[in-house]
Amino acid sequence: MGGNEKGERNNPGSNGRTSTPPRNTCRRTPATTPPRQLNNPNQPSHTDPSVSTTRTTVTVLEQKLKVWYTNADGLTNKHEEWQERINEKSPDIIAVTETKLTETITDAIFPPGYQIMRKDRRGRGGGGVALLVKNRWKFEKMEGIDETGERDYIAGTLQSGEHKVVIAVMYNPPQNCRMPSEEYEESNRAMVDTLAEVARRAHSSRAKLLVIRNFNHREIDWENLEPHGGPETWRARMLDVVLENLMHQHVKDTTRVRGEDEPARLDLVFTLGSSDIEDIKYESPLGASDHVVLCFEYIVELQVERITGVEWEKPD
């Protein structure tokens, strides 16, 4: 369980950023030479006792999306820096947790050229999620999962040719939030149910899956696939959902550093394929946030085109 991870993590406290090569969203790799065009006047008719040889050309089209994600710890006071970094990377998908936006803040805070989905916090500290997809892609919101509207998540379906990708962004509040312990546990169980439903819909529609989640917990050992606590905890249930749906968790390094606290891996990326993610980079936080920025490439489409040619030869 895991994914490809290239590059080294930048120091979250530094202002350095990891540069990436120019984007190459489409690569054509001919597996064989194209079929020869035969203009032989003596080409046999279908009644001749001839021998045919079929030649095939295979073209692989690989579509990649650039993804940019962070826990912003509030967007309003980081607006200028955020716009600069987005303009520099020009990602296809932007995911943000802890936006801390309210309904009084308009979409003008987001960069232009994107379809915007957001769920703002409701009268409480922290929270809020946003998912942005470039206008070039067909993208529709996924309805009917959280009817109460209380969970911090957004999900939608991106269409790329004949392929679909279910994309979801989720935020779990930290354990020291103001929520009563019983309500907090129930909130976590509900979010695990949301993850299970998103994965189920991806499987049922034969779509690919990309889930970006600010987990805010350390209770799962992702290398050994072991939850801390008993088998009846929501942590064990979450691990069961991941394994039952054949999901892969790709983030290997710590993503949050605060003062003297132990560095923690709180931001996670899940897909259905172990090789769906390439070139993960851990870049410096946005403003005073203590979470790194995750940048990576997500492989959306792998398509094979076969072109068949026929060469005729008369037997001796």
Residue 277 buriedness (CB in 10 A; 0-12 / 13-18 / 19+) = buried
Q: 134 pLDDT exceeds 80?
A: yes
Residue 180: the pLDDT is 75
Amino acid 104 reads T
Contact yes or no for 106/112 (Cβ under 8 A)? no
Q: Lowest-confidence range among 33-42, 73-82, 158-167, 269-278?
A: 33-42
| Helices assigned H by DSSP within 115-209 | 181-204
Per-residue pLDDT tens for 87-128?
999 999 999 999 999 989 999 999 999 999 999 987 666 789
158: phi then psi, degrees, rounded to nearest 5 = -100, 135
Torsion of CA 84, 85, 86, 87, to 10 degrees: 50
pLDDT at 262: 82
- How far is 21 from 3, CA to CA, in rounded Å? 20
Residue 65, beta-bridge partner list:
298
3 state SS of 217? coil
Q: Return the pLDDT at 17.
A: 45
pLDDT, tens digit, 9 for 90 and up, residues 101-110: 998 999 999 9
User: Mean pLDDT, to the nearest integer, of 181-188?
Assistant: 81
In 194-265, which ranges are E strands? 208-214, 220-221, 226-227, 248-249
- The better pLDDT of the pair 186, 33 is held by 186
Say whether pLDDT at 211 is over 90: yes
Q: Where are the domains of the chain?
A: 61-304
300 is written with which tokens? 């959306």
- For residue range 2-58, list pLDDT tens digits in order: 444 444 444 444 444 444 444 444 444 444 444 444 444 455 555 555 656 666 665
Residue 290, both tokens: 């203590």
pLDDT band at 258 (very low <50, low <70, confident <90, very high): confident
Q: Which CATH superfamily is domain 61-304 in?
A: Endonuclease/exonuclease/phosphatase (3.60.10.10)
pLDDT at 183 over 70: yes
What is the average pLDDT across 225-249? 88
